[in-house]
A and B are shown apart, each in its own frame.
Chain A
Amino acid sequence: MIAYLIAIATLVGVRALLTLGLNVQWGLTGLVNLGAVAFFAVGAYTSALLAVGGAPLVVAWPVAVGLATVAGAGLAMVALRLKEDYLAIVTLGFGEVLRLFLLNEAWLTRGANGVTAIPRPFHAQFTGHYDLFYLALVFVMVALVYVALERLRRSPFGRVLRAIREDETVAAVAGKPVFRFKVQAFALGAGIGGLAGILFAHYLAYVEPNMFLPQDSLFVWLALILGGSGNNRGALLGSVVLLGLLEGSRFAKDVIPFLTGVQLAAAQQILVGVVLVVLMIQRPDGLLPETPGSD
């Protein structure tokens, strides 16, 4: 049971990072990104392939974060010129095409077999309580990112991002290079998503393309909207509640034993979809709404 709770807490931490990343893009700056899973995948795969190829983690991890950031900047430079509606499909499509790439380009990504035996950091040093060590590692990362983002939110940079979210014409009239700020915010969010992917890959020691489905981007949205977008504490809370929701419905198997595995998975997804729609209608500001003027 303890081992299970540690595993869940580790995954909550990974999800929290993803949600914090999306919060920079959508919550803070108002940029649509339906392909959050893409940067998660870039981080996970880059680090996994480099590490398996023999690169030390002090090299693999920064390169993976860097590549996710660059991928975010690249997509942003193309996509942020578009209207919001189009941005939705372009980011969604980007995530899906990336998954197809991971699936098909086996020479680079090992295709459907996935990358196995990804080295786990400091595995030799913490043999007895490795999972506990990894949980601590994830929590330290979440804490660092959280503190950094809180500072960023209150900084002049963060104020500009929020101004762009509220009214980008006003921000532009005030002399802010809106497009550059948007690209930076998008890239930063993508980099944080990449970090989440790294922690995910080295925790499971295995990645394969179907871990990065479009629905996983939807889960990140759900966590953010659930918790309260624009608010980093909300992003954390949303990640906890979402995983509680997902894991809790797993126990439904014990209560309703006549459901098959497929049915149970479907029921879980139905629940996720219904919660998302109800939240959008009833509580678009989430459990912890952003308090206005909280500089």
Chain B
Amino acid sequence: MPPIAQYVFNGVVTGGILALPAVAFSLLWRLLRFPNFAVSTYLTVGAYVALMLNHGVRASIEVAWIGALVVTGAVALLVDRVAFRPMRDRRPFSLAIASIGVAFVLENVVRFVWGNDFRSYDVSVTRATSVAGLLVGREQLLILGVAVVLMALAQTFLLRTRLGIAMRATADNPLLAAVKGVPTERVIAIATLGGGGLAGGAGVFLGLDASIDPVMGGGLIISVFAAAILGGIGSAPGALGGALIVGIMEEVGMLVVPPTYKTAIGFAIILAVLLMRPTGLAGARS
């Protein structure tokens, strides 16, 4: 039996992967005011786009990763235009239901093309090295590094760039922002593109760390939700912290409950947070 530190380390890697869709989910929720259940399915889309590039045209995993980022961002943008844009003024729950429908369509398009089999990328297998008694894979370190860099970039974008500031303004008060000349639809388009890209990239990471199958992303929705709620809706660093906590608790939790109950741990976190703060950790925003 590996030491508990091994579980914590695996949890940190899982959390790093989870952080990307969690940030996308959290920011899009704050901006568009509905929980977009399709975000976790964008991981599946990204993973299979990379698989197509990696197996089909023999692209290296790095190139395939960039391809997944771009294509998934474009898919997210297309989904927004077709499904969500006509419903912008409707109550959040209608949009949430529509997003579940979208997730369902995307997952089954993947299933239609590739079937239900588990797949993996064509990458040279490197053995995990032992660092201070911990088994550490090269991919795991790479994934963690890239995830941290991406989170830092997202945060810098939100805090320092004109467009990032416009995005936060729209999230805070869409009407006021629009009156002040913020092009709302363009802000939404950029956020959707970026959020979809982050989730798509995370999907490739997940495919490298575990395996690729049609439910890989959709099955994470409860964990993504838990991370976003834990971090406070709309906060990028919050979502990162939330994702790390959820990742570590899900891995360490396997010492106590069978691995099949992984989803239940995320659910327990959601319940615990919401029972203490029924409006979520973000406070009493409506």
> Interface of A with B (CB < 8 Å)?
32, 34, 78, 81-86, 88-90, 92-94, 96-97, 100, 103-104, 215, 218, 221, 225, 260, 262-263, 265-267, 269-270, 272-274, 276-277, 280-281, 284
Interface string of B231-269 (1 = CB under 8 A from A): 000000000000000000000000000101101101100
User: How distant is the Cα of A274 from the Cα of B82 in the complex, in angstroms?
Assistant: 11
* B108–A281 touching, CB < 8 Å: no
Interface size of B by CB at 8 A reads 44
Residues of A within 8 A of B263 (CB): 93, 96-97, 100
Q: Does B111 contact A (CB under 8 A)?
A: yes
A-B contact pairs, 30 of them (CB 8 A): A81-B278, A82-B274, A83-B279, A85-B92, A86-B274, A88-B96, A89-B270, A90-B270, A93-B271, A97-B263, A97-B264, A100-B260, A100-B261, A100-B263, A100-B264, A218-B104, A262-B111, A262-B115, A263-B115, A266-B112, A267-B108, A269-B108, A270-B104, A273-B101, A273-B105, A280-B94, A280-B98, A281-B83, A281-B98, A284-B94
Tally of A-B Cβ pairs under 8 angstroms: 119
* B261–A104 touching, CB < 8 Å: yes
Tell me, rounded to whole Å, the shortest Cβ–Cβ distance linking A252 to chain B. Answer: 13
Given known pairs A93-B270, A100-B261, the reply for A85 and B93 (CB within 8 Å) is yes
Interface secondary structure of B, over-half rule? helix
* A93–B267 touching, CB < 8 Å: yes
Residues of B within 8 A of A81 (CB): 278
Tell me, rounded to whole Å, the shortest Cβ–Cβ distance linking B180 to chain A. Answer: 27
Given known pairs A97-B267, A277-B105, the reply for A90 and B97 (CB within 8 Å) is no
Mark out the residues of chain B between 98 and 145 whose CB falls within 8 Å of any chain A CB in the assembled complex.
Answer: 98, 100-105, 107-109, 111-112, 115-116
User: How distant is the Cα of A117 from the Cα of B75 in the complex, in angstroms?
Assistant: 47
Tell me, rounded to whole Å, the shortest Cβ–Cβ distance linking A242 to chain B. Answer: 14
User: How distant is the Cα of A34 from the Cα of B112 in the complex, in angstroms?
Assistant: 25
Given known pairs A89-B222, A96-B222, the reply for A266 and B86 (CB within 8 Å) is no
Name the residue of chain B whose CB is nearest to the CB of A277: B101
**Pick the contact of A270 from B112, B271, B275 — CB < 8 Å?**
B112
* B271–A78 touching, CB < 8 Å: yes
Q: Does B87 contact A (CB under 8 A)?
A: yes
Q: Does B205 contact A (CB under 8 A)?
A: no
* B270–A276 touching, CB < 8 Å: no
